[in-house]
A and B are shown apart, each in its own frame.
Chain A
Amino acid sequence: MRRLWITLTYIVVAVVLFLPLYKIFTGAWADGFSGFADALLRPQSLHALQMTATIVLIVTVVNTLFGVMLAIYLVRASWLSPFAKRLCNSIVDLPFAVSPVIGGLMIVLLLGPNTVLGTMFNNLGVQIVYALPGMVLATLFVTFPIMVREVMPVLQEIGDQQEQAATTLGAYSWYTFWKVTWPNIRFAVMYGVVLTVARSLGEFGAVLVVSGNIINKTQTATTLVYQDVENFNVVAANGIALVLAAFSIMLLLLMEWTKKRKEVH
């Protein structure tokens, strides 16, 4: 019985997870190394990868800062009533339930070229939709809950006794944060960062809607894969997909590493 279950598990995992990985690692070399290199060195590929890197960087920094602060407020703040905390706590999760395409649509509806706000920003010389700011906003929306969800349980678990002790002993609030709170939450924050990077690297639907997918302007790595497939340029798509998959596997290993560290504390 037990043998049977273990074998079945191996078969399912092999078919569902290992087979796709194998396919992507072999498919990119279908035209030899030069095919792979050509796919990657096209100007649009380089530009798309650079675009993705920019978005990942901005989103991760902003999301980490605001996520950690909001988590601290939602757990610790005494100026928020319990009801307000519960309400905010439920609202934080909403982006998880929103289809990425709808997330993109929301931003187009609010800030698109035909809207009041969009025209206002346009007059100021800032284009939001079909440009980088909109894509960053869309990715921020999609990744928002990740950091809050990782940090909040840890803050709840450690309690605020140590922080109070530090304050009683005369530590300033900033000092208390760095010396008392941060060491406790740092692995949760790191785990959140890894998840945020993974999600923003792979974000597709929201970015596709907001960016308009303009080659060499607003195209990201994932939307380039989409376009290559639509153009039946399978080998090129496979090259970019391989790069993205390699990053995902690295992130997966990091996830494992931080998860173990997180559990020690």
Chain B
Amino acid sequence: MPSDTILSDTALSAVWLTLRLATVTTLLLFLIGTPIAWWLARTRCWLKAPVGAMVALPLVLPPTVIGFYLLVVMGPQGPVGQLTQALGLGVLPFTFWGLVVGSVLYSMPFVVQPLQNAFDAIGERPLEVAATLRAGPWDTFFSVVLPLARPGFITAGILGFAHTVGEFGVVLMIGGNIPDQTRVVSVQIYDHVEAQEYAQAHWLSAGMLAFSFVVLLLLYLFNPNGRRR
């Protein structure tokens, strides 16, 4: 059993890549998820239920299903693949940005749902008051909604980040295990276990365990009265 240094260069690069992926994904999810959550919280349109269900799908779908469809849809023959090729971007599988797309879809409910609940909890009244004070919609959003929904944003950010760090199946299906591009920590652990390098697997796994616990601890400390959502 090869037992070089405890955290080798490959392990460190996997950790760094994972943190980068989770950060980019979380930022994008704030950008995409906030308007979706806002719309879901406010709309009376019949599309609310279908869109809500779409957003929640990754909660129940096996990651293999998401990964398999992404591989096919983003591949050179798939519709998204055709589009990215036409735009001169090449195809997305086996790239960092392919993983970002997969992670955004996969972690979407973990960001949208806490935000939607936070927006729901604000209710109509503060918005009406803001309107009577002649605040425009953007002004209202930034000076009334954002501060009131702050716990929701914190929860959404933590869950979105942590869930992306913990992602495995989707990455395995579309990643291709390329160092510094798609070899994230969870894949690295899987490889160590498969190769029977249990010492290295233990170090990385224990790290993940500690990280996940600390993240959830932070979450419960921020929202101590059980208002996780």
- Chains A and B come from one and the same complex: no
Name B residues whose Cβ lies closer than 8 Å to a Cβ of A.
none
Name A residues whose Cβ lies closer than 8 Å to a Cβ of B.
none
